[in-house]
Chain A
Amino acid sequence: MRGLKKSYGRFAALRGIDLEIRRGEIFALLGPNGAGKTTFVEILEGFRHRDGGDVTVLGIDPDHQPMALKTKIGIVLQSSGMDRYLNVAETVEMYSSYYPEPRPVAEILSLVGLEAKRDERVLRLSGGQQRRLDVAIALAGNPELLFLDEPTTGFDPSARREVWEVIKNLRGLGKTVVLTTHFMDEAQYLADRLAVIASGSIVAEGDPETLAGRNRMQATVRFTLPEGVAPPDRLNVTPLPGAIYEMGTTAVTRDLHDLTEWALGVGVELSDLRVERPSLEDVYLELTAEAAAESSESTS
């Protein structure tokens, strides 16, 4: 999609988004609440119409051929009910009956791990099980592309794990998955690629390891030295309280080599030796904070 825009009244929910999602990948859209994640996916799903820009989903413009698109995608909404009085198998069968080429129900239930619950009424399922049933319903039409809007928001850790495992399994089916989340660990665990959205704009895009040059940012080498031993000046080491030393570096391999060579030479042990990179969370918080500051400047 290019230059995707959407406003609600005077509020610009999306301010021109350019993004390409590749077939077969799990793509995460990461952003704080109110950043425009749901608006974004609902435009792709055909629920909302865009105000500007071009969008193609599986070669289809969602505004022009919504029906053609609906047979090829599966949607898990942020929160959506189902008939509480049908059982699990009936629910999936019902949704299967809407599609021209449904996937066999038994196969879907085993994919999401609900075979044992097939005769259980929906109202007796736990939160995690209902979420897995959501995914099962989204798989009913054997879609090429799956949208998951905040699939684990509001779940306890074990229910989150359940849902994560189900999503991981989808990779094996060759489906393209687009998920939105505001959890860093979720994006890191599941996504092949991710984009960070804040205040209606994409502020960074990449794979979880290298997002926003995370791998190239200055790393910190930290270690402790025995009392009375000082590191050589050429290594640019900063002493911290408690005989701990810190060395900032953008060339980790070389500087670490120098450090260990010196340590072996003088015969000291670098206890607690650690190399730390900024976490995805650090990067994310920095990016979204910048965007929030910019957007409040531009509106005021």
Chain B
Amino acid sequence: MNPLTQLRHQIRYINKAFWRNPASAFFTFAFPLMFLVIFTSLLGHHALRISPGRTIDVSTYYVASMGAYAVITACYNNIAIGLAIQRDSGVLKRTRGTPIPGGVYILARLVHALFVAVILVVITAAYGRLFYHSSLPTGVPLIEFLTMLLVGTLTFCSLGFAITCVIPNADAAPAVVNASILPLLFLSGVFIPITSTAPTWMVWVARIFPVRHFTLAMNAGFVGTTFNWMDVVVVAAWGIGGFVVSYRFFTWEPKR
């Protein structure tokens, strides 16, 4: 059996089930878009000082940030919660008893998450362009942006796989996932811009974890700040770490 054909089939079934499941369609897909509308409508045309002597519309900031947030939910939350539920209900064990290679099955989930993330980013950018005249990256910044998007998607998927290793059961999945990501989203300035008055510990937390680096690099192309390749490196390092943990500790059978 051709693994590529298997991969294509599998993505198709994951996609069908994804849109029919109200939880995934709402929390993964509609949630970031809802935040985008709320934040931009609420704070619309306020000016935001992003560096000395440079101000942008708050809406532009949120278009970029919500794009990053959408990628994180589509990858990290979606994969971690979805996979923990599948593991607990025995879907993964059943799959393990069939000849589809484990790698193909996992890759199908990853590619599907990437697909959802890209749709969300495109919708977010189009929304910003249409209603708030946000600028879109072109030329070199576009290439930089796409690189970060790809690396970020892979990393947050990989971290999603890794976190399932510590999720004890399906009921705990949303709690573990949200407890691990929500504080970071706030500390990393995804929902509320971090200004120079932020406490030092917060800045350090943001520096250690991948969310801030990912958001900064994703935003660069939109808000016109400098793109820093170091951000990509930090995010990629987390991705590799996630892969190692998943490879070592991932289980196909319910943890009981």
Interface residues of A (CB under 8 A from B): 45-47, 67, 70-71, 73, 75, 77, 79-86, 90, 94-95, 97-100, 121, 137, 140-141
B6 near A98: Cβ-Cβ < 8 Å: yes
* Residue from the list B1, B16, B21, B253 in contact with A98, Cβ < 8 A: B1
* Residue from the list B9, B16, B90, B100 in contact with A80, Cβ < 8 A: B90
A47 near B96: Cβ-Cβ < 8 Å: yes
Could you show 27 A-B contacts with beta carbons less than 8 Å apart?
A47-B96, A47-B97, A47-B253, A67-B99, A70-B99, A73-B97, A75-B94, A79-B90, A81-B90, A81-B91, A81-B94, A83-B17, A83-B86, A85-B16, A85-B20, A85-B21, A86-B13, A86-B16, A86-B20, A90-B13, A95-B98, A97-B5, A98-B98, A98-B100, A100-B1, A137-B94, A141-B99
Q: Is B228 part of the contact surface with A, judged by Cβ < 8 Å?
A: no
B98 near A70: Cβ-Cβ < 8 Å: yes
Most chain-A Cβ atoms within 10 A of its Cβ — which of B6, B13, B98?
B98
Contact of A70 with B13 at beta-carbon distance under 8 Å, contacts A77-B90, A81-B86, A82-B91 already known: no
Interface residues of B (CB under 8 A from A): 1, 5-6, 9-10, 13, 16-17, 20-21, 86, 88-91, 93-94, 96-100, 253
SS class of chain B's interface: helix, strand, loop or mixed? helix
Q: Shortest beta-carbon distance, A191 to chain B, in Å?
A: 22
Q: How far is the CA of A214 from the CA of B5 in the complex (A)?
A: 54
Q: How far is the CA of A177 from the CA of B88 in the complex (A)?
A: 27
B91 near A94: Cβ-Cβ < 8 Å: no
Q: Could you say which residues of chain A place their CB within 8 Å of the CB of B10?
A: 94, 97
Q: How far is the CA of A67 from the CA of B5 in the complex (A)?
A: 18
Q: Could you say which residues of chain A place their CB within 8 Å of the CB of B253?
A: 47
A90 near B16: Cβ-Cβ < 8 Å: yes
Q: Shortest beta-carbon distance, B129 to chain A, in Å?
A: 33
Q: Could you say which residues of chain A place their CB within 8 Å of the CB of B16?
A: 85-86, 90
Q: How far is the CA of A82 from the CA of B85 in the complex (A)?
A: 11
Q: Could you say which residues of chain B place their CB within 8 Å of the CB of A71?
A: 99
Q: Shortest beta-carbon distance, B169 to chain A, in Å?
A: 13
Q: Could you say which residues of chain B place their CB within 8 Å of the CB of A81?
A: 86, 88-91, 94
Q: Could you say which residues of chain B place their CB within 8 Å of the CB of A73?
A: 97
Q: How far is the CA of A97 from the CA of B9 in the complex (A)?
A: 7
Contact of A75 with B97 at beta-carbon distance under 8 Å, contacts A81-B89, A97-B6, A98-B1 already known: yes
Most chain-A Cβ atoms within 10 A of its Cβ — which of B5, B21, B88?
B21
Q: How far is the CA of A84 from the CA of B89 in the complex (A)?
A: 11
Q: Shortest beta-carbon distance, A95 to chain B, in Å?
A: 6
Q: Shortest beta-carbon distance, B45 to chain A, in Å?
A: 41
Q: Shortest beta-carbon distance, B102 to chain A, in Å?
A: 11
Q: Could you say which residues of chain A place their CB within 8 Å of the CB of B21?
A: 84-85
Contact of A77 with B93 at beta-carbon distance under 8 Å, contacts A90-B13, A90-B16, A94-B9 already known: yes
